[in-house]
A and B are shown apart, each in its own frame.
Chain A
């Protein structure tokens, strides 16, 4: 069924409450008898806790430590390695050790400052090298590897033996911090009969629910999670909230009163997850014409001190490492390693921004060496429908890149300008990136782990329809788009549909709000359920329809061998960035940004525009001004919004964008995923533009003026002579 009118923009359903300031975020809520909680954290990157000295606590003030965890003191995730509250060891600066809870925040701070902890410091592993050498002993397992994967395709040895040249190249990418405007927070409220309800800012109510069932040793019906209006997330509220909710709930259980733990910016920056830094090495075999005939690729990610979801980030990095290119002979290795730093986590793109930066810049490097135009060189290798993916799956759908390239050329004049700047640089450059994003969970995650279900409910003698799903609106407009899908399929007005902030007492587990899956996977369940409801609409009684996820038949994935279709569908993107470098200061001015995206059918074109402009700016920030480092002791150096600089309104101009509309049969109204795609391409396009402007090669993110100076001095380019 094809309703191409669905994309026409509507006013979002939650505009009013947000513009008027009446929307309630977690820090805006108060409960009777509520106490505040403050987290006491490790000041050492790695140490044994020898003793803790407490001040005398006034009435109504309590300390909570690991002994107060009723169930398992382990945050339920892929691996149960991370404690809610440290026991005898700490593994990163910022690791939670204790909570102090009480009615007055001023007093809490005073008391917290009086708690002294005696540590026996141990040797910390802070770099990839130290981690792989297990400096100070392994932090995780026996070899410090949270996960490692290897896969191959074709015959790499043969390809390398037949190669005319072999090029080796290495890339590194740094941290990125979500910097959502609303800091993380949770309020846990003990209810009658041992039940506990936790309210907060989150992406995944059911992740939290399961983590708390394990931490509190409570059955399902005793743990209720309710999402409050969430002020941005971008992946940063995917896994961390389970820890925070756990803290609040453990404290609430102990003291028998509601406990609010609300982070301020300093604590949020210094304690919550960051994007995994990466180091990616390519060995590429080229034939006489310069075409790639084989690649050996190695990826290492820095996972921080605990496993979290690093395994899955590594997978996405590895399975997309060859970008949009058809590489027939391939050997890929990768691991994500433990260091004594803040555990890293999900961030829009989830391993793909790192991979695509590396591959796109590698292609730039190869093209330059062969003295070819980068786009022409890339075009020689672009995948086509029917080609195998890196993991020997298939590109089952038409690959729209050739047509999208035509569009972006018309929009940006890329080739003309590229050639102009090659002849007459004048510190200008223009760069292009081609990329994709596999929508939905990697591999068989949807089918085997998530098993998403939604419900549609219509009461007896009513025309009101209720959407019951656990996915959250975190700004991306899900409240509006879910309603649009159901309204479109049922042919009823959006105002007859309700979709409340998920409450796990009310809604089934439709899976987390991650992986660009909400529209494509959950939206499809809503569409299918709606069509079933439509067929039964005339029934008099109450109707409740449950719809459960079924993996598309055409998708085949072997998780043991990392082989097959890692994703059910791909969304595609092309970005062009034009930039000018100031020869005096090496600061970069972005003069133009053009984007073309294929996300299938837009459920709302204006909401997609918001995702494009927001995602591209995050990608440009990642490329240029978002510097995040650790000092020699492993402590974060940029822990506020003054020193971690995200783009302001004057840093970049408009993004010129067009959608290339296709139709994905297994998506609602033909829609695919869009949330992460829009961030991936900006950094490589930016880097390519700056590389052209300065006639250098760029192999690192962020591309700071300091780094550019280093490269110029190394390559003996004098930009502005003495």
Chain B
């Protein structure tokens, strides 16, 4: 049986993390499933476990005028309850998993799991989330899009722990979220789509869209988004270019839940709907 650590302070946690090759456990809702052994059986965890659950400083939620900072122990439900939290992220959280899992699973845990189907990821990508990562040697900030390197792969060193996540507060006039799963609750996404935009006098001042579960990591194209910045409508040529861009980026797989062709077709449907219709309503 692997060693376990239950630190009560952040410093203690950093120290342990710097001195042993550990696996971090916050809520545990992913890890306990991944390594579950069965009734009466303790799961076979591959590394010593570092429990973060009892570090109260990780529960901090900091709402500033232009940003929100969320600590690593903030659960999905606690995050969704932040009044100022952008609607796009709230919508994604509310349709995730189940109430009991959202009471325990953490926002940052979902990020660090880096599943291609991670539901909080498309909204966090378009909100340009940044993570604060600490070790005994210091602190650094990293953009989410750089932090997630592949399915289940994150840019976190063995001596580092994610402290918190920061997103900008937004004045989105347009917000569109769609999760496609096998049923309406407790479903792993076949694909998901999150998009936001800001308009001033009918002109688009900011636009961002991201797709989940249609590639090894979240699909987002700033190149496509830039084609609409400053515009008051979408021209056929523009859409054709955008379609080509996204078509080449989308690379979903066939698995037990769905098929490549379904995921790709529906992803393009949702992009078309958002960019051609919803955005201009």
Contacts and interface: CB of A to CB of B under 8 A. Distances in A.
Check A-B contact in the complex, CB < 8 A: yes
A650 interface: yes
The size class of the interface chain B forms with chain A is 20 to 34
B258 interface: yes
Interface stretch (A123-131, A153-161, A318-326, A640-648): A640-648
Interface in A305-333: none
A264 B185 CA distance: 23
Interface string A625-660: 101010000000110001101011111000000000
Contacts of A648: 183-186
B192 to A, nearest CB: 11
B68 interface: no
Given A585-B270, A706-B259, 20 more contacts: A105-B38, A109-B37, A109-B38, A266-B38, A584-B178, A584-B266, A585-B180, A585-B269, A586-B266, A625-B182, A642-B188, A645-B182, A648-B183, A648-B185, A651-B183, A720-B269, A720-B273, A721-B272, A722-B243, A722-B272
A719 B266 CA distance: 11
B256 A650 contact: no
Contacts of B184: 648, 650-651
A720 to B, nearest CB: 5
A106 B262 CA distance: 42
Contact of B40 (A105, A647, A705): A105
A109 B185 contact: no
A565 to B, nearest CB: 41
Contact of A709 (B40, B256, B262): B262
A642 B97 CA distance: 10
Interface string B14-51: 00000000000000000001000111111000000000
Contacts of A109: 37-38, 41
B261 interface: yes
Interface in B177-201: 178, 180, 182-188
Interface in A95-116: 105-106, 109
A584 B269 contact: yes
B266 A637 contact: no
A645 B256 contact: no
The SS class assigned to the A binding surface is: loop
Given A106-B42, A720-B272, A585 B266 contact: yes
B253 interface: no
Interface in B254-268: 256-259, 261-262, 265-266, 268
A49 interface: no
A591 to B, nearest CB: 14
A721 B277 CA distance: 13
Interface of B: 33, 37-42, 178, 180, 182-188, 243, 256-259, 261-262, 265-266, 268-270, 272-273
Given A705-B262, A709-B262, A584 B270 contact: yes
A415 interface: no
A587 interface: yes
Contacts, number: 76
A467 B24 CA distance: 58
Contacts of B33: 642
B239 to A, nearest CB: 8
Contacts of A278: none
A258 B84 CA distance: 59
Contacts of B185: 648-651
Which 8 interchain pairs have the tightest Cβ spacing? A105-B40, A645-B182, A706-B262, A637-B256, A648-B185, A720-B269, A264-B38, A584-B269
Contact of A645 (B40, B187, B259, B273): B187
A105 B41 contact: yes
A586 B183 CA distance: 13
Contacts of A266: 38
A583 B37 CA distance: 42
A709 B186 contact: no
A649 B257 CA distance: 20
Contacts of A105: 38-41
Interface majority SS (helix, strand, loop, mixed), chain B:
loop
5 contacts: A627-B182, A629-B256, A642-B33, A706-B261, A720-B272
Nearest to B265: A709
A629 B257 CA distance: 10
- Give the residue among A36, A650, A721 with the most B Cβ atoms within 10 A: A650
B33 to A, nearest CB: 8
B255 to A, nearest CB: 9
Nearest to B257: A643
Contact of B39 (A264, A649, A719, A721): A264
A638 B39 contact: no
Contacts of B39: 27, 105, 262, 264
Contacts of B256: 627, 629, 637-638, 643
B235 to A, nearest CB: 15
Contacts of A36: 40
Nearest to B266: A585
Nearest to A626: B182
A100 to B, nearest CB: 14
A721 B38 CA distance: 48
A722 B265 CA distance: 10
Given A106-B40, A645-B182, A651-B184, A706 B272 contact: no
Nearest to A641: B186
A629 B272 CA distance: 32
B183 A722 contact: no
A642 B256 CA distance: 11
Residue of B41, B187, B261, B270 with most partner-chain A CB within 10 A: B41
Contacts of A709: 261-262, 265-266
Contact of B183 (A27, A645, A706, A719): A645
Nearest to A266: B38
B119 to A, nearest CB: 14
Nearest to A107: B41
A304 B273 CA distance: 45
Contacts of A583: 269
Interface string A12-55: 00000000000000010000000010000000000000000000
Nearest to B179: A585
A315 to B, nearest CB: 33
Contacts of A637: 256
Interface in A637-696: 637-638, 642-643, 645, 647-651
A707 B265 CA distance: 13
Contacts of B269: 583-585, 719-720
